[in-house]
Amino acid sequence: MNQRLKVDMIGCDGHGVCAELVPELIGLDEWGYPVISASPVPEHLAKHARKAVTLCPQLALRLEAGR
Ligand code: SF4
């Protein structure tokens, strides 16, 4: 099943930890807030994506199942 990264922009405070952990899927805007790829997380990046979710200090990042 495909998974996509989603961010709660209200909870996020722009630490940028996620973008360091999985730069292939998360960039930062000019204010340091994440810009997340709309594409499904490829299998070879799944471990990094899960780590980014776990280490987000605001618990603002999640993986959602989808098609
Ligand atoms: S690690 Fe969490 S709080 Fe920091 S930029 Fe990413 S989503 Fe936002």
Domain of residue 53, CATH code? 3.30.70.20
CA of 37 to the centre of ligand 1 (A): 14
**pTM, entire model:** 0.92
Tokens of residue 65, six digits: 């199942």
Residue minimizing CA distance to atom 2 of ligand 1? 56
> Are the CB atoms for 17 and 57 separated by under 8 Å?
yes
Confidence category of residue 1, pLDDT binned at 50, 70, 90: confident
Residue by residue, what is the 3-state secondary structure of 11-61?
CCCCCCHHHHHCCCCEEECCCCCEEECCCCCCHHHHHHHHHHHHHCCCCCE
Give residue 14's domain range.
2-66
Residue whose CB lies within 8 A of the most ligand 1 atoms, among 31, 56, 59, 64, for a mutation test: 56
Report, as an integer, the average pLDDT of 11-34: 96
Residue minimizing CA distance to atom 3 of ligand 1? 12
CA of 15 to the centre of ligand 1 (A): 5
Supply φ then ψ for residue 17, to 5 degrees.
Answer: -55, -40
What is the tally of structural domains in the chain?
A: 1
What's residue 40's pLDDT?
96
Report, as an integer, the average pLDDT of 7-35: 96
Report, as an integer, the average pLDDT of 18-41: 96
What's residue 35's pLDDT?
97
User: What mean pLDDT, rounded, does the chain reach?
Assistant: 95
